[in-house]
Amino acid sequence: MQIPTWPARVVEYLDDLEIAVDTVQKMIADTRLKTKVGSANEVGDSAAELLGAVTQLESMVENRERLLSDEHAPPTGTTLIEKLDSLDEVELVNRSRAIAATIASTHTAAVSLFVCQYHLANYSQDVLRLLAGIDTPSTYDRSSKGENKQRGGGRLFNDAA
């Protein structure tokens, strides 16, 4: 049995990585859609599935580290792209860069989804707090800077009247 060359093992890694990233991307899109529709039970289920897919993606880091430290890897460079570039593997370099860009955009989408869900989770309580005029919990300690305490919507409505 012949051992695959280092670039061939990188191709296998990129194939697996692409599948993992694609899975996470689809789950984020699905969860975003469920968030828009507002079906809380389905959002929770999607979040659990998404966590599993992200865990799978994180496991790919170990594979990358093994490839980087492999005895057959090129000695120059500290990243796969740099090592592939030193071998003049233009197609693999371009593919690696494309996957890296996809991972970056997927990360941005995941963070945006988290922020959206975080704010939607307390939306009902926030509206009730505003209507009741209860002080808002401060995100930062404004009182230490001598600023007035934030006020809830009751004050807002009184001021508007």
pLDDT in tens, 4-40: 899 999 999 999 999 999 999 998 888 888 777 766 6
Q: Which pLDDT score, from 0 to 100, does residue 78 have?
A: 94
Per the confidence metrics, is the pTM higher than 0.95? Answer: no
Q: What is the overall mean pLDDT for the chain?
A: 81
Give the alpha-carbon dihedral of 151, 152, 158, 161, to 10 degrees.
120
pLDDT at 3 over 90: no
For residue 72, CA distances in Å to 1, 68, 87 come to 17, 9, 12
pLDDT at 140 over 60: no
Per-residue pLDDT of 121-136, as tens digits, reads: 776 777 777 777 676 6
DSSP secondary structure code for residue 151 in this structure: -
Q: How far apart are CA 159 and CA 138, in angstroms?
A: 20
Q: How far apart are CA 20 and CA 16, in angstroms?
A: 6
pLDDT at 59 over 80: yes
Mean pLDDT of 67-93: 94
Q: How far apart are CA 95 and CA 102, in angstroms?
A: 11
Q: How far apart are CA 108 and CA 71, in angstroms?
A: 35
First to last CA, the chain: 83
Token reading at 124? 């009902």
